Amino acid sequence: MLAEIENAVIARLAEKAPEIKYLPSAKSVEVLPAKVAYTLAITKGTAEEITPETTRQHIELSIWVAFKNMKSDKDRRHGAFPVVEAVGQLLLKQKLGLEIKAIKYAGFTDVTDNEERTAAMAIYQVDFKTSYTVSKLNEEDTQELLTVALNYLLNGAEPAAAQDAVTLRT
């Protein structure tokens, strides 16, 4: 579900704010001059037991919005504020077509470091929270989940396409 949430946020922002370029890298690594860009990550998860078989997974998602503005620090801040507010509004109360609690806007922070500020950049972290229910998997399903991650996702390979099994009876 975690990857689905990240992908759904990216899709929502691509649809509603296509002017903001998505960068699939760490914050500020590829920011282009005069272009507003963002990256995101689920940065924290905590769990709360509901029943012995179900857990409520609470997550925190951060979006780092970055851009260059050569004018001044004040101009960078004033340029960032409406973008921060718009990103917050675009995700506020959204479920993104997923079985999650409506997204809560949790605030923002200016995370621009001295090197970035010297390069006329501004980077703001915009934080969100949501949660979803996780049901306990049986051991076979847990092993399958682990196998998919280890064999395909972590080494960059794509999972094999689904295939139909046909059994002929004689």
Q: List 132's β-bridge partners, or say none.
A: 57
Give the residue ranges of the chain where pLDDT is below 70: 26-34, 145, 148-149, 151-170
Q: Are 37 and 23 contacting, i.e. CB atoms less than 8 angstroms apart?
A: yes
Q: How far is residue 57's CA from residue 2's CA, in Å, rounded to a whole number?
A: 10
Q: Say what the pLDDT of residue 28 is.
A: 47
Residue 77: name the closest of 31, 27, 132, 120 by CA.
Answer: 120
Give per-residue pLDDT as tens, 116-134.
Answer: 888 888 899 999 999 999 9
Where do the structural domains in the chain lie, given as residue ranges?
2-153
Supply the pTM of this predicted model: 0.79
Q: In degrees rounded to 5, what are phi and psi of residue 136?
A: -60, 130
Domain topology for 2-153: STM4215-like (3.30.2000)
